[in-house]
Amino acid sequence: MASEHTPLLQHDGPTDETSPRQSTQGEDPYDRFQPSQKRAIVLSVAFAALIPFFVSGSFITTIPQIARELETTGAVVSLAVSASVFSSCIGSLVWAVYSGYYGRRSIFVVSSVIFCLGSLGVTLSRSIQELIAFRIVQALGCSSAFSNGAGVLGDLYRLEERGTAMGVFYGGVLLGPAIAPVIGGLVAELYSWRTMQGGLKAQTTGLVILNPFKSLTLVRSPVILCIVVAGITNLTADFFLVFPVAYTIAKKYNITGEAAIGALLIPAGLGSMLGAPIVGRISDRIVAQRRKSRGGIWVPEDRLRGLQLSGLVLIPSSVLIAGYTTTYVDGSLGLAINLFCLFINGFGADSVFTTLSAYVVDILHDRSAEITAASMAYRGTVVSLAVAGLLPSIDTIGLMATYTITAAASLLGYSLIWAVIQYGDRMRAYVDIGFSTADAT
C-alpha cells in the first residue's frame, strides 16, 4: 500500500509507472520546501489551472455571437463545448499518467504548447467544423492543470493541511468563473470573440508509451465509484445553471450584450471562490478533531462530513428555485433571485468539488494525479453528453422540468456521499486498489 510519505516531488527521475516513490530516508518529504516556496508553487499551478476557466468562461457568453458569425445555431455551437469537455477528459488521463513518469513540470510545459496552438486555431476558425476541431486541441492542452495541480498539492501538504491547500488552490482557480465571462463578453462586444481566444495563446526525454486509460479501472472500487457519480451529479447541476444563461436568465429579463450576459455569472464565480477555501479548511479541522478524539486513528471519510449543507440544501434548492423563478417571476425581483441562486450554487458545487478532490487524494495519495484525472474523465464525459442535450431539453420539456430532474440527480449524488461516510471502510476493504495507509500522517 501507498503511504502518506510517498510524494512524487521526492522522485528525481523517470521510473516505471507502477514503482513506489519513496522519500529520502530520514527526511520528512513535507518539510522539503519552506512555506513560502510551497505558496509560490501553489500560485504557479493555480495560474495554470485558471486558464481553462478563461477558455470556457469567455466562450459561453459569446455563443450567440459565434452562432451568428458562423451562420449556425446556439445548439450547434454548444457541441464545441461538449467536444472540448470530452477532450479534456481524455487529455487529463494522458497527462496524469505521463506526469507520473516524467514529473509534473515537463507535462505542464508540453501541454501549454498544445494549448497555445489550439487557441490560435480557434481564433482563425472560419467554420463550425474548424471551431470544434481546434476547441478539442485547445481543451486537450489545458486539461493537465487540474489533475497535475491536485497531484502537486498532494505532494506538498500533509493530510491535515491538504483540504485547506485544495481550498486555496481552487479558490484562486475559481477566480476564472467570476471574471472570465465579463472580460470575454466585453472583448467580444467591443471587438470579436476571436480576440479573446487569440489572447489566450501564449524538456522532454525519449518518448515512452504508457497506458493513459489504466486509471479508469480505479472505479472498480465501490468507494471510488460512489465519489465519481456524486461528482458527476454535482458538476451537472453547476453546468446546467451556468451554461445556458444567455438563453435562460438573459432571455427572460431582456439582457443583451455579451458583457452584460457575462456579468450575470459573477455571483457564480464569487460563490465558487468562497466555497472552495472555506469548506476545504472546515474539512481539515474535522479530520484533525475526529482523529484526535480517536487517539490518532485516521478515518478518511471524516473529510466528507462537512458537506451536508452543500449537498442536501444549497445545490438542489438553488437549481429548483432558479428554474421556478426564471419560469414564473418577472422583473428585478426575479433577476435578483436568480443571481442569488447562482451564488449559492457556486458556493455549494465547488465546496463539494474541493472536498471530494481532497478525499480521493487522501485515500490514493501515491496516485493523486491519476485518480484526479480519472474522476474528471468520467465527470466530463457524462457532462459533455448532458450539455449537448441541455438546450434541446429546455425547448422540449421546459426549464422547470429540466431543473427538477437535475436537482433530483444532485440529491442522489449526495446520498452516495452519505453512503461513503457511513460505510467507506467496508467499501475500501471490498476492493483494495492500493489505498493509502495512515503511516506518518
Distance CA 123, CA 74 (A): 18
Does 304 reside within a domain?
A: yes
One-letter amino acid for residue 192 of the chain: S
Residues 6+ apart with CB under 8 A from 152: 9, 41, 42, 45, 104
> pLDDT at position 1, please?
41
Distance CA 296, CA 289 (A): 10
> pLDDT at position 187, please?
63
Cα–Cα nearest to 62, from 165, 170, 186 = 186
> pLDDT at position 193, please?
56
Does 39 reside within a domain?
A: yes
| Cell of residue 280, nine digits | 476545504
Does 360 reside within a domain?
A: yes
For residue 273, give the CATH number of its domain: 1.20.1250.20
Does 49 reside within a domain?
A: yes
Does 72 reside within a domain?
A: yes
Does 305 reside within a domain?
A: yes
- Structural domain that includes position 346: 33-430
Does 16 reside within a domain?
A: no
The distance between the two most distant Cα atoms of the chain, rounded to a whole number of Å, is: 66
Does 14 reside within a domain?
A: no
Cα–Cα nearest to 62, from 195, 242, 185, 196 = 185
Each residue's pLDDT tens digit in the chain (441 positions)?
A: 444 343 444 443 444 433 434 444 445 667 777 878 787 877 777 777 777 666 666 666 677 777 888 877 777 777 777 777 778 878 888 888 887 777 777 888 888 888 888 888 888 888 888 888 888 888 888 787 777 777 777 778 777 777 877 777 777 666 666 666 666 666 666 666 555 555 555 435 344 556 777 888 888 999 999 999 999 999 899 888 888 888 899 989 998 877 788 888 889 888 888 888 888 889 999 999 999 998 888 899 999 999 999 999 999 999 999 999 999 999 999 999 999 999 999 999 989 988 998 899 889 887 887 888 888 888 878 887 887 788 888 889 999 999 999 999 999 999 999 999 999 989 988 888 888 776 544
Domains held by the chain: number: 1
One-letter amino acid for residue 75 of the chain: A
> pLDDT at position 169, please?
76
Sign of CA dihedral 186, 50, 215, 102: positive
